[in-house]
Amino acid sequence: MPLVATPHRPLDVDQLAGARDAALSRAQAHGCAHGELRVEHLRSQQVRLRDARLEGAAEDVELGMGVRVVIDGALGFAATVAGGPEQAAALVDEAVLVARSIAGAGGRPVELADEPGHGVVTWASEYDIDPADIPLSDKVGLLAEWSGRLLAAGSVDHVTAHVLAVTEDKFYADLAGTQATQRRVRVHPTVEAFAVDPDGGFETMRTVAPPAGRGWEYLQGQGWDWDAELESIPELLAEKVRAPSIVAGEYDLVVDPTNLWLTIHESIGHATELDRAMGYEAAYAGTSFATLDQLGSLRYGSEVMNVTGDRTTPHGLATVAIDDEGVPGQSFDLIRHGVLAGYQLDRSIASTSGLGPSNGCAFADSPLHVPIQRMANVSLQPAEGEGPTTGALIGDVDRGLYIVGDKSWSIDMQRYNFQFTGQRFFRIEGGRLVGQVRDVAYQATTTEFWGSMEAVGGRSTYLLGGAFNCGKGQPGQVAPVSHGCPSVLVRDVRVLNAREESGR
Amino acid sequence: MSRRSASPGPDPATGLPPAQDVVEGALAAAGPGSDQCVVIVEETSEVEVRLANNTTTTNGSRRDRRVTVISMRQVDGGMAAGVARRGGDVDVAELVRAAEQDAAGSPPADDAWPLPTPAEADPSPASAARFHRPRASTELSVLTGVLADLSAAFTRARRSDHVLAGFAEHRQTTEYLGTSTGVRLAHAQPQGALHLVARSADGINSTWAGAGTTDFADVSVEELESRLRERLAWSARRIERPAGRYEVLLPPEAVSDLMVGLAYELSGRNAEDGRTVFSFPGGGTRVGEQLSPVPFELRSDPGLEGLECSPFLAATASSADTSVFDNGLPLDPTGWITGGRLERLRYHRAGADRSGTDPAGFIGNLSLEVPGASGTLEEMVARTERGLLLTCLWYIREVDPATMLLTGLTRDGVYVVEDGAVVGAANNFRFNESPVDLLARASEVGSTVRALGREFGEYFNRTSMPAVRVPDFNMSSVSQAS
């Protein structure tokens, strides 16, 4: 039976049994050391409004299957949009052919770390309403209503509103006897207000609500207070427009989780991917300063720094039951008391490094892409016990900035030097917030920044942030990932004035 | 709409019905729920191999098909559009219903405009013939030469204490477009890229070479390797340089990434709304303004030799300056910057009409040139008393859209030039610069050559760029990365 892409017919295991049996028996017949079949049905919907009017909407269903084999120490991957047992068996033949052709180029044999079979697993992420079930007109209606609230304020000249919703259905089966059928639902709504200066230039203020592994209920207020955030934006924007430009220099920073998640993503998340640290992304995403010889000894940050990786957090964007190599989602230490304690692994790098077995960080963003090591939910732990509030952290700063919301980001290819901006920046004087400043960018080296982290906030300041669009690999793959963190206090960080940087 | 010629039959590789049948079938399935309808079928065939640590790593061979149906429908106050897109073996009736349902549930579209007619699109017999051709396909054999050379390259690298990483990919995309107004168009786009990175075994020195291609006939591992060897030899002497403003030679690959970034900002609507570097204070745009005293020509042209790309617009979603209502519109050669003056911004037809200007669509190539400029990068090095020669830029992100201030890193080789020659390699830097300002401050421009951007080349493969000398490039801080 062919695979036919329709929105309301996600993967049917009975229908896929033929393709599974055909692929795995063919892989066995070839003598493959490893063989896996992945079939995915990815439904995404994107709606974009400009000044409360629909600018563009698109609904997309991607359906296909991919086969990966390891044979005679070589790896091969082949994928197609066609379905059925015959196509699945033909894909195995093609993957074997690809493996053998490429092995001819020489190099070292490929091995995957051992992983036992985990039987039949069926799992779904936590959500109430599949966004695919909400009619487009309702989606447009809600975003138009939100936009209208902002446009009604005198300080706002333009508003853009956007939502991206994804329903991911994935079927995985391998020769070791793991068969996983999983569904993940995620949404990312954003609303941004613009104020145009008639003398040139403009300022913006965007919602800081994170993307979430939730359904449409997220936009209805479950997990985020949209009413409160939308109400605050016009005044925050008006204040930003009036705000003075920052005086460049060193400042103590209190960084809100809505900004810090991205700093964690770039300077810890990617730096503790072992494939990068061992040079396997040297041609593209880059390598890492946190090399394997420093495991257990690298002073990454201060004593209060504890970072974990996990694929288990409820509503986490990287959360799964079984990864794309048949490894169960799990939780593990990356940094303990400021010292490098572990890495994110897939089965290939777990074997190459000898750190195996894999801790479940393989992911492919499409049925047509090969799984590679991708980021777990990498999260900075809050202080034990009650811990300080954000207000208490601010209270410990004499001259500094409180930074809220992410905006621009950039980091070098070994994850040393980074520069971030934000949505809004409040000056701190004598332990109190004294109004916004603008044109702020903070720049630091990873270990210096985390080494200067004096305090982490308590559980009450903790928020799960994240992104849909983490890029890695060639051809490029895009992965969703979450990062939880508390507010933190970091001393003496270099702050630039972005207008001065542009020579103005 | 009746079928115009015999169907080529099911696809030999996938068993799927031919794209032409899908286009006709969907147009025929469009019921009273569609006043107009557009169908786009994209067929992709792709092979690739990665390498790192002197060995091949991951690879892939894939075939993809995406079908997009856009239904246009008269609603209260205007025309609305609904878009539905599916992969693989598509149930066209379901797909058309989904698009019609979204059209019926949508407000009137701001970008609504009558679909192009065959006369407005391309009525030539050659165009009709293209529509009836089977999809283009690629095979792993395209990379045979690359794979054969790699084995020797790995051996040479090990012998000289270097570590090679890289990527080779080749893709054939065929786009079929049909509309209820009778337009039938197709375009086959071959595209390839080869990247090689060589690092010293101690990881201190690293350099990159990359090239875009259509068929791998004009690129080779050996040619890129020789460029890498020269640059690693330059790195024998290490010279630390602090942050600051430097005279910099930007190679064509670095200019490519900066100009592709600039081209994405050429939205007419966003500029009129006061939201980009091309907004005029108080309203309107900067079209007509002299951006640079250097007579730069920044243009896109589907017919540019060696960079040929689709000559018609195929949009699967509307945005600020691209409209699904413009599907099938010819993409005419467009000068964005002419004689150093901002000439055009992107508009769809409805937007251009509102703004009293001409439409200009997104075109899949980009060329920057100064007429008469002839120097090679090597000749520009020879004319440099003191400066830095870059290899490429990386992790480029917008810091301030009002000035288009970008930040990013130098990557894979910053070379110190003194008295006309490279004398060593410096550390990397984080820069903060606006490409619009760089055009204004350029003090010398070389000849234009095909160049693959390190960062955006993956998404925008076809660019021709010159090397550019900037006397005061802002290196904001030192990066320890190598």
> Taken in order A233, A234, A240, A241, is the CA torsion positive or negative?
positive
Question: Among residues B257, B198, B190, which one has the least CA distance to residue B218?
Answer: B190
pLDDT (0 to 100) of residue B32 = 84
Q: What is the pLDDT of residues B91-134, one digit of tens each?
A: 999 999 999 999 999 999 999 999 999 999 988 888 889 999 99
Q: How many residues does chain A have?
A: 504
Please list the residues that pair with B73 across neighbouring strands: B80
Instruction: State the Cα–Cα distance between residues B426 and B248, nearest whole angstrom.
Output: 13
Q: What is the pLDDT of residues B53-70, one digit of tens each?
A: 999 999 999 999 999 999
Mutate to test the interface with A, among B46, B63, B101 (most CBs of A within 10 A): B63
pLDDT (0 to 100) of residue A288 = 97
CA distance B125 to chain A (A): 32
Q: How many CB atoms lie within 10 A of CB A160?
A: 23
Record the pTM.
0.96
Pick from A48, A475, A502: which is nearest to B405 by CB? A502
- Give yes or no for residue A104 having a pLDDT over 90: no
Q: What is the pLDDT of residues A251-290, one digit of tens each?
A: 999 999 999 999 999 999 999 999 999 999 999 999 999 9
pLDDT (0 to 100) of residue A264 = 98
Mutate to test the interface with A, among B11, B480, B482 (most CBs of A within 10 A): B480
Q: Measure Cα distances from A458 to A42, A243, A252, A485, A486 in Å.
A: 37, 30, 19, 10, 7
The single-letter DSSP state of residue B326 is G
Pick from B107, B111, B151: which is nearest to A105 by CB? B151
Q: Are B65 and B44 in contact (CB under 8 A)?
A: yes
Residues 6 or more apart from B243 whose CB is under 8 A from it? Answer: B429, B475, B476, B477, B478
Instruction: State the Cα–Cα distance between residues B130 and B178, nearest whole angstrom.
Output: 12
Please list the residues that pair with A122 across neighbouring strands: A181
- The whole-number average pLDDT for the span A364-391 is 97
Q: What is the pLDDT of residues A15-70, one digit of tens each?
A: 899 999 999 999 999 999 999 999 999 999 999 999 999 999 988 999 999 999 99
- Give yes or no for residue B205 having a pLDDT over 80: yes
Q: Are A308 and A482 in contact (CB under 8 A)?
A: no
Position B3 confidence tier, pLDDT thresholds 50, 70, 90: very low
Instruction: State the Cα–Cα distance between residues B258 and B431, nearest whole angstrom.
Output: 12
Pick from B57, B275, B400: which is nearest to A502 by CB? B400
Does the distance separating the beta carbons of B395 and A46 come in below 8 Å? no
Instruction: State the Cα–Cα distance between residues B115 and A69, nearest whole angstrom.
Output: 47
Task: Name residues 349-408 of chain B within 8 A of A (Cβ).
Answer: 394-403, 405, 407-408
CA B197 to chain CA centroid, nearest Å: 21
Is the peptide bond preceding residue B435 cis, with omega within 30 degrees of 0? no
Q: Which amino acid is at B50?
A: R
If phi > 0 it is left, if psi is from -120 to 50 it is alpha, else beta; for residue B438 that is alpha
Residues 6 or more apart from B401 whose CB is under 8 A from it? Answer: A202, B265, B275, B276, B277
Instruction: State the Cα–Cα distance between residues A272 and A308, nearest whole angstrom.
Output: 11
Tell whether A481 is within 8 A of chain B (Cβ). Answer: no
Q: Are A219 and A45 in contact (CB under 8 A)?
A: no
Q: What is the pLDDT of residues A334-349, one digit of tens each?
A: 999 999 999 999 999 9
Instruction: State the Cα–Cα distance between residues B401 and B395, nearest whole angstrom.
Output: 16
Tell whether B98 is within 8 A of chain A (Cβ). Answer: yes
Task: Determine whether A454 is exposed, middle or buried from the number of CB atoms within 10 Å of its CB (0-12, 13-18, 19+).
Answer: middle
> Taken in order B146, B152, B154, B156, is the CA torsion positive or negative?
negative
Does the distance separating the beta carbons of B317 and A200 come in below 8 Å? no
Tell whether A218 is within 8 A of chain B (Cβ). Answer: no
CA distance A333 to chain B (A): 25
Task: Name residues 336-355 of chain B within 8 A of A (Cβ).
Answer: none
Of chain A, the percentage scoring pLDDT greater than 70 comes to 98
pLDDT (0 to 100) of residue A4 = 62
Task: Name residues 419-438 of chain A within 8 A of B (Cβ).
Answer: 419, 421
pLDDT (0 to 100) of residue B4 = 46
Mutate to test the interface with B, among A419, A423, A470 (most CBs of B within 10 A): A419
User: Which residues of chain B have a CB within 8 Å of the CB of A95?
Assistant: 61
Position A103 confidence tier, pLDDT thresholds 50, 70, 90: confident
Tell whether A410 is within 8 A of chain B (Cβ). Answer: yes
* ipTM, two decimals: 0.95
Does the distance separating the beta carbons of B14 and A417 come in below 8 Å? no
pLDDT (0 to 100) of residue B7 = 66
Q: How many CB atoms lie within 10 A of CB A94?
A: 22
Task: Name residues 292-331 of chain B within 8 A of A (Cβ).
Answer: 316-320, 324
User: Which residues of chain A have a CB within 8 Å of the CB of B432?
Assistant: 419, 496, 498, 501-502
pLDDT (0 to 100) of residue B82 = 96
Task: Name residues 40-99 of chain A within 8 A of B (Cβ).
Answer: 46, 48, 50, 53-64, 66, 75-83, 87, 94-95, 97-99
The single-letter DSSP state of residue B290 is B
Tell whether B434 is within 8 A of chain A (Cβ). Answer: yes
Exposure string of A244-283, with b = 16+ CB inside 10 Å and e = fewer, is eebebeebbbbbbbbbbbbbbbbbbbbbbbbbbbbbbbbb
Mutate to test the interface with A, among B58, B162, B228, B478 (most CBs of A within 10 A): B58
Where does B41-107 have alpha helices with state H? 92-104
